Amino acid sequence: MTAHSVKELLSGKLTLQEVTVNGWVKTFRSNRFIALNDGSTINNIQCVVDFEKFDDTVLKQINTGAALRITGTLVESQGRGQSVEIQVKDIFVHGEADPEAYPIQPKKHSLEFLREKAHLRVRTNTFSAVMRVRSALSFAIHQYFQQNGFYYFHAPIITGSDAEGAGEMFRVTTLDAKKPPLTEEGEVNHKEDFFGKETNLTVSGQLEAEAYAMALGKVYTFGPTFRAENSNTSRHLAEFWMIEPEMAFYDLDANMDLAEDFIKNVIRYVLENCEDDLQFLEKRLLDEEKRKPQAERSEMALIEKLKFVADTNFKRVTYTEAIDILRNSKPNKKKKFQYPIDEWGADLQSEHERFLVEKHFKCPVILFDYPAKIKAFYMRLNEDGKTVRAMDILFPGIGEIVGGSQREERLEVLKEKMAALDIPEEELWWYLDLRKFGTAVHSGFGLGFERLVLFATGMGNIRDVIPFPRTPQNAEF
Ligand code: 4AD
Ligand code: MG
């Protein structure tokens, strides 16, 4: 008999019949009730065992975490909170899980504890819900672009260019297989750089995406990117996934319109397709918030917050307007900002971004027209000669979720900017070619995928929304 998934069994669409299901034991109560889960849904199917009919050696193997195949009759359930259950006829134990050794027991484990068990934590309700939402978001992202005339473009992972010009790169080298990885002095025993050329892991696929947009019109990348920034925050990873659309003939306004429409669409997708998981995550968050002082609790529950963002116009403000607001504000009645904004041109810290979004405007904010000095070399210079056509989207509880811009399409202006920043033309000769041959206005942005997953799931730490987080302390798995 082909097995059913737990989701199918609970769908209410099956006739009451003999069924087979595979899954892992969540709990086994009173030697009678097995709660079985197979990952297809957050919900478990209850399997009722008549223990007199089963051998003690089998019953002893039914512990939390064991993998089972159960065959039995699907019947209406007497219990509360479930429509159907299985009356068990046969149990096959695929694999046991020794309760003395298996770390994921049916009790509340802290997220910190589970981070040390990255290979097992997805077996908890919280992580399985997060990872299903993550998967749904990936699908929604591809669907959005595919339905809107974009081509999926694969940017290289190994590259010679520093797209952000920030020098936060991991270098690629080949090791000498005949020697140990480290010399006696502890130096890396590498044979050479990438076949004799200096290369690094990509920090962004943008520059290559620009080349493709200048032929295919609208493209997007969705892949891993790497940053060697040693920031131990709950918003930064050394390896994260980024979505980068790039569009020929789009100016900054069209770019902002697209980014806003895109984010709202993918959030609507999870609202419509991940209801059970979102409800679970919302409840989890409410329980967590109960332990916080009233003032620190969020005003909206998770699902309400997602609906709000999907339905609200993002507030668009220039950097200069934002600076004026910040200069005339205090984060609360008594306190000043830790980093007071004294002069025009300063980069915003996350306390400022969060103030604008959470206290001042109380909605997502798009800041644009930033000072050229604090932004990357490729952004288009405005007529004022000191600001660039940059935009950042700031989200409640997250801060920056998107960074993007209209690109400098004028060869001479781009060359001048590169010279001012000591970026050699030889390094980016191919990028300059794009301005020599058929150049045009174009724009794009990068969305940090994990920051979107953080927002959609209400989780508090970016390490908890990616399967195997790479941070300065953790690359063990
Ligand atoms: O603002 P960033 O650095 O922009 C770029 O890389 C552009 N080349 C994008 C483009 O225009 N195509 O990064 C974009 C987004 C940020 O807004 C943030 O959401 C995320 O990537 N991000 C990170 N996410 C997790 N960990 C990190 N270390 C991140 N650095 C950036
Ligand atoms: Mg940025």
Q: What is the pLDDT of residue 292?
A: 85
- Residue 254: strand pairing partners: none
Q: Given pLDDT bands bounded at 50, 70 and 90, which one contains residue 242?
A: very high
Mutate to test the pocket of ligand 1, among 204, 239, 454 (most ligand atoms within 8 A of CB): 204
Task: Identify the CA nearest to 214 among candidates 445, 446, 436, 447.
Answer: 436
Ion ligand 2: protein residues whose beta carbon lies under 5 Å: 403
Interval 56-83: pLDDT, tens:
999 999 999 999 999 999 999 887 778 8
**Neighbour order of strands in the sheet with 218-226:** 151-152, 218-226, 239-248, 442-448, 399-406, 387-395, 365-371, 315-318
Q: Which residue has the tokens 């020098």?
A: 167
Tell me, which fold does domain 6-104 have in CATH? OB fold (Dihydrolipoamide Acetyltransferase, E2P) (2.40.50)
Q: What is the pLDDT of residue 323?
A: 95
Mutate to test the pocket of ligand 1, among 204, 242, 256, 347 (most ligand atoms within 8 A of CB): 242
- Its ipTM equals 0.99
For 33-129, strand residue ranges (E) read 33-37, 45-48, 67-76, 84-95
Predicted confidence (pLDDT) at residue 161 exceeds the cutoff of 90: no
- Tokens describing residue 11: 């769908």
Calculate mean pLDDT across residues 419-438. 95
Please report, in angstroms and rounded to a whole number, the separation of the first and last CA atoms in the chain.
37
Among 163-167, 197-201, 275-279, 453-457, the least confident range: 163-167
Q: Given pLDDT bands bounded at 50, 70 and 90, which one contains residue 302?
A: very high
Q: What is the pLDDT of residue 189?
A: 67
DSSP single-letter state for residue 149: T
Check pocket membership of 210 for ligand 1, CB cut-off 6 A.
Answer: no
Protein residue with least CA distance to atom 31, ligand 1: 448
pLDDT over 70, % of the chain:
97
Protein residue with least CA distance to atom 30, ligand 1: 236
434-449 burial, b for 16+ CB within 10 Å, e for fewer? Answer: bbeeebebbbbbbbbb
- Could you give the CA distance from residue 475 to residue 88 in angstroms, rounded to a whole number? 43
The per-residue DSSP string of 402-444 comes to EEEEEB---HHHHHHHHHHTT--GGGGHHHHHHHHSS---EEE
Torsion angle (degrees, nearest 10) of CA 448, 451, 455, 461: 170
Spell out the domain ranges in the chain.
6-104, 123-168+203-464
Protein residue with least CA distance to atom 4, ligand 1: 403
Interval 182-202: pLDDT, tens:
778 877 666 667 777 889 999
Q: What is the pLDDT of residue 475?
A: 60
Residue 362 Ramachandran class (φ > 0 left, ψ -120 to 50 alpha, else beta): left
Mutate to test the pocket of ligand 1, among 451, 454, 465 (most ligand atoms within 8 A of CB): 451
Dist. CA 446 → ligand 1 center (Å): 6
Q: Given pLDDT bands bounded at 50, 70 and 90, which one contains residue 476?
A: low
pTM above 0.90, yes or no: yes
- Could you give the CA distance from residue 68 to residue 378 in angstroms, rounded to a whole number? 56
Closest atom of ligand 1 to CA, residue 445: 11
Q: What is the pLDDT of residue 154?
A: 97
Cα 297 from chain centre = 23
Count the neighbouring beta carbons within 10 Å of the beta carbon of residue 151. Answer: 14
Interval 85-103: pLDDT, tens:
999 999 999 999 999 999 9
CATH of 123-168+203-464, one of 3.30.930.10, 3.40.50.720, 3.90.1170.30, 3.50.50.60: 3.30.930.10
- Tokens describing residue 148: 């809107």
Predicted confidence (pLDDT) at residue 180 exceeds the cutoff of 90: no
Q: Which residue has the tokens 């202006």?
A: 413
219 alpha carbon, closest ligand? 1
Q: Is the dihedral of CA 188, 194, 195, 198 positive or negative?
A: negative
Check pocket membership of 450 for ligand 1, CB cut-off 6 A.
Answer: yes
At 30, phi and psi to the nearest 5?
50, 30
Q: What is the pLDDT of residue 273?
A: 98
Closest atom of ligand 1 to CA, residue 236: 26
Check pocket membership of 163 for ligand 1, CB cut-off 6 A.
Answer: yes
Burial of 73 (0-12, 13-18, 19+ CB in 10 A): middle
192-211 burial, b for 16+ CB within 10 Å, e for fewer? Answer: eeeeeeebbbbbbbbbbbbb
Q: What is the pLDDT of residue 211?
A: 98
Calculate mean pLDDT across residues 411-418. 97
- Tokens describing residue 96: 């046991």
CA distances from 477 to 108, 119, 429, 462, 469 (A): 23, 8, 39, 17, 9
Check pocket membership of 402 for ligand 1, CB cut-off 6 A.
Answer: yes
Q: What is the pLDDT of residue 191?
A: 64
221-246 burial, b for 16+ CB within 10 Å, e for fewer? Answer: bbbebbbeeeeeeebbbbbbbbbbbb
Calculate mean pLDDT across residues 108-136. 96
Which one of 11-20, 160-169, 199-208 scores highest in mean pLDDT?
Answer: 199-208
Residue 171: which residues within 8 A CB-CB, separation 6 or more?
Answer: 193, 198, 199, 200
Burial of 395 (0-12, 13-18, 19+ CB in 10 A): buried
Q: Given pLDDT bands bounded at 50, 70 and 90, which one contains residue 250?
A: very high
The rounded mean pLDDT for the chain is 93
- Could you give the CA distance from residue 308 to residue 295 in angstroms, rounded to a whole number? 21
Interval 351-410: pLDDT, tens:
999 999 999 999 999 999 999 999 999 999 999 999 999 999 999 999 999 999 999 999
Predicted confidence (pLDDT) at residue 332 exceeds the cutoff of 90: no
Protein residue with least CA distance to atom 18, ligand 1: 448
| Within this chain, domains 6-104 and 123-168+203-464 share the same CATH topology | no
Closest atom of ligand 1 to CA, residue 246: 12
